[in-house]
Structure formats: C-alpha cells, structure tokens
Amino acid sequence: METLVHTPSPPPLTLPLSFYQGEDVVAIAKALLGKWLLTRIGDDPVTGGMIIETEAYAGAEDRASHAYNNRRTARTETLFGEGGVSYIYFCYGMHHLFNVVTHRKETPHAVLIRSLHPTTGLKTMQRRRRKEPLTKGPGNLSQALGLTLI
C-alpha cells in the first residue's frame, strides 16, 4: 500500500516553452524529475505532485515511439508540433497516458510522465482512482489527475 504524505504545494510556476524545445529529449526527461505537475479539471480542486519517473522517446529514430520512422497519423500529428504541448493517447483501450512534446516543430520527441509523488488534492485523486497506487504508473497517474482525451 502506498504511503501518502500531504505536504504543501509549491507556488504555481510555469516552465518556459524554451525548456521543452531543447534538442536532447533524455536531458529534458531528467530535468522534469522533481518538477511539479498540477491539474485543475472542471470544478474539482487542484491535484498533483512532484514528478519522480519519466521516459524519453526520441521520435523517428526510436522504435518505441509512435512517430518511429516519421510515421504521421491523426493520432501522432501532435508529436510533430512545437515542444511544450501535451500528447495524451488511449493505450490498450483502458488507460490515458500523458506525455509532453519536446524539441522543435517536425521533430517528434516526447517525454512520458510515468509517476509522481502525490501531494495536492489527495481526496480528489483517491475518488478518481478508487484504489492504490494513486500515481505510480502512467495510466494511474492520468486517472488520478483527471487527464483524458477531452
């Protein structure tokens, strides 16, 4: 069972777009560790916590990437945009997975946010998840934060 410790949230700060538009997706994935990911969905309170696990996808060269070999589809088109936007996809018909697009336009790099230490809006996250672990694993994280395809 996951142990939850409620700690005060940091003041909300937004990273500049330039943070996401660097060329090294692995460096960006590492730099996201320790940063805060917060959501406000509808009338629910803010939920989130500190990012503790990420996974980098280096686009056209990365066989694990949806954009491997520059594969462009309606689903992957977001990956080919400017870094700094989200890419959420529905995996195996059951989980929404949250990624941050990185690099410059036409270079489809992204960072999957795999896990975070939950600190803010714990009751709301527990209501959304209905079970433990709250935010360990990318599907659980998205469900706890209320992230979907809109």
Q: State the sign of the Cα–Cα–Cα–Cα dihedral 51, 21, 46, 96.
A: negative
Domains (ranges, CATH) in the chain?
18-145 (3.10.300.10)
Tens of pLDDT, residue by residue over 17-57, are 999 999 999 999 999 999 999 999 999 999 999 999 999 99
150 near 78, Cβ under 8 Å? no
C-alpha 41/C-alpha 102 separation (Å) is 24
Considering the chain, what percentage of its residues have pLDDT values greater than 90?
Answer: 87
| pTM to 2 decimal places | 0.90
In DSSP notation, 80-128 reads GS-TTSEEEEEETTTEEEEEEEESSTT--EEEEEEEEEEEE-HHHHHHH
Measured CA distances, 31 to 25, 51, 56, 70, 109 (Å)? 10, 10, 11, 25, 15
C-alpha 121/C-alpha 13 separation (Å) is 17
Tens of pLDDT, residue by residue over 85-125, are 999 999 988 899 999 999 999 999 999 999 999 999 999 99
Tens of pLDDT, residue by residue over 52-77, are 999 999 989 999 999 999 999 999 99
Question: What residue type is 26 in one-letter code?
Answer: V
Cα 134 off chain centre by: 15
Q: Residue 13 — very low, low, confident or very high, per pLDDT cuts 50/70/90?
A: confident
Q: Residue 8 — very low, low, confident or very high, per pLDDT cuts 50/70/90?
A: low
Three-state DSSP state, 53: strand
